[in-house]
Amino acid sequence: MPKNDKTRRRKSHAERERIKAKKAASGASYTSAQSGTVHRHRGPELPALDGSGFGADRTADMQTASALIGACLEQCQPCQASLADQVLAGDRLVVASLAGTVYALLPSPGFGCSPATRRFHAVAHDTGRDGYGPAVLAAVEEMSAEDLEALLEDTLDLWAAAAGAAPAPASPAAEDGAPDGEQEQETRRFDVAGGTAYLLSAGIDQLLDREEMQALIQHAEKSAAAGDAVECFLCDQPLDVTAEPEIHLGVAMRTLTLDGRELDTVVPVFTHPGCGRTRVWPWAELMAERQRRGLEVAPEDRQPERPAGQQHPRNADYTTFSLARRPGGGTVPLVLIEPGEPDAYGAEGWLAARLSEGFKPVDLSGQQPFPKLDGWSLRCDGGRLVSVMTASTGAWYRQEGGYATPGEWRKAARQRSALLLVVPSGSVGERQGDQWLEAVSRAAGAGHLLGGLVAVRGTLS
């Protein structure tokens, strides 16, 4: 869907105003040599550094470093370049402090960092060692100019991410049934300093860790700053991170075969909000969607008109009620839903669709707490289960007249919380007792048992 030009202009104007207001309010200032104008970039307040912690008998001024972080946050390239040159040419205590501060805290040096940063992280993360501060400074002082530059670049990404793209704090365990779909969405929203928000797909956290997600956002921001913006997967047009108020980031699950071995990979899928909602895609479905939109698809990725899965027969729907032991004690009513309609894109398609809806992997072995599906609920009417409601999009599943529920299930459901489980068509069916458990365990082993705790609403008798 092409973007309306008028909307685009209006937004980028608002963006300029916002940046102007921010600059007016900023602290550290710097005169840009290129333009001869005073740029004021708001960086963190960094007091003069006392070198004694690093075994150095001197202090270092941190104002240039602070302005540099500010310039990174506001993506002012001329200032970044000349401030970085000054920092690199100056006292290495400054880089030791900037880099030491962030890498001491990080359990790993991060996705895509330079080899120099990786080596530095090994020193900086070992905070318990004797002579820690002097070792960190020595590591920086021994670096070649090139390595120092790489370390500074990686460090600035983290400072900018920490100051600008700080993720919303994880939602505290909400009370069962609180209508907090909004809150759940907020935890998947990353606001970066330039004013763009990145909305990440539900389920992306099952495929990427937090650092990887931040690295992808940094990649998009950096690519835009370098004049080579990332493209929307659903229209092949560049994503203008300075003009778009929101950018969607989903992923595609792609299985590659290398030397006869299957390798599961995760491909980032950046999209315009107008081109399609953010989600987890099976590769085949993403390619089919590109094909449908007339975009280029490699010959080996071309999809048949009718996906293979649609040719499978439809099974009956199964809804089973049982009780599950809660890890840590007590029981919880359980409902397992197995829709009979096979996913058009097979097991991978099923998994991608459910993860996008917010379902999470469930471990029934008692070793992991059950995940929660915030805002989801089971709706009962007179003790019959009539629908499964999502946080935001209404009924996920509805049964005309409802399903009768067993007495002990209704009794357990008085705690107003239940474990909702879903499996792909054909996984469990009408098996009973031990065979039912075996089939559910098999689905879990294949990564195809998803669900979570949901609220129970309505009347139980």
* Footprint of Zn ion (CB under 5 A): 39, 76, 79, 232, 235, 272, 275
Nearer to Zn ion, 269 or 450 (CB): 269
The partner residues of 258 in beta bridges, in order of sequence, read 261
Nearer to Zn ion, 234 or 373 (CB): 234
Report in angstroms how near the CB of residue 3 gets to Zn ion at its nearest: 8
Pairwise CA distance, residues 65 & 330, whole Å: 55
Nearer to Zn ion, 37 or 144 (CB): 37
3-state DSSP helix/strand/coil percent for the chain, to nearest 5? Answer: 40, 25, 40
Residue found under tokens 């905070």: 127
Report in angstroms how near the CB of residue 22 gets to Zn ion at its nearest: 12
Report in angstroms how near the CB of residue 220 gets to Zn ion at its nearest: 14
Nearer to Zn ion, 270 or 409 (CB): 270
Report in angstroms how near the CB of residue 244 gets to Zn ion at its nearest: 10
Q: Which two tokens stand for residue 409?
A: 């299930």
Nearer to Zn ion, 278 or 405 (CB): 278
- Identify the burial level of 92 via C-beta atoms within 10 angstroms of its C-beta, where 0-12 means exposed, 13-18 middle and 19 or more buried: buried
In 231-382, which residue ranges form alpha helices assigned H by DSSP? 283-292, 346-357
Nearer to Zn ion, 26 or 59 (CB): 26
Nearer to Zn ion, 35 or 52 (CB): 35
Report in angstroms how near the CB of residue 274 gets to Zn ion at its nearest: 7
Pairwise CA distance, residues 217 & 211, whole Å: 10
CA 175 to chain centre: 24
CA 306 to chain centre: 31
Angle at 163 (CA atoms; ends 161, 54), nearest 5 degrees? 90
Q: Which two tokens stand for residue 357?
A: 């809806």
Query: Is 272 within 8 Å of 2 (Cβ atoms)?
Result: no
Report in angstroms how near the CB of residue 30 gets to Zn ion at its nearest: 7
Per-residue b/e over 336-353, b at no fewer than 16 CB within 10 Å?
A: bbbbeebbbbbbbbbbbb
Nearer to Zn ion, 278 or 322 (CB): 278
Q: Which two tokens stand for residue 35?
A: 């333009």
Report in angstroms how near the CB of residue 249 gets to Zn ion at its nearest: 13
Report in angstroms how near the CB of residue 201 gets to Zn ion at its nearest: 15
* Torsional sign, CA 171, 177, 181, 182: negative
Nearer to Zn ion, 85 or 146 (CB): 85
Nearer to Zn ion, 76 or 213 (CB): 76
Closest CA to 83 of 39, 30, 151: 30
Report in angstroms how near the CB of residue 362 gets to Zn ion at its nearest: 34
Query: Is 378 within 8 Å of 321 (Cβ atoms)?
Result: no
Query: Is 216 within 8 Å of 225 (Cβ atoms)?
Result: no
In 254-323, which residue ranges form alpha helices assigned H by DSSP? 283-292
DSSP H or E stretch at residue 369: none
Report in angstroms how near the CB of residue 378 gets to Zn ion at its nearest: 37
Pairwise CA distance, residues 100 & 102, whole Å: 6
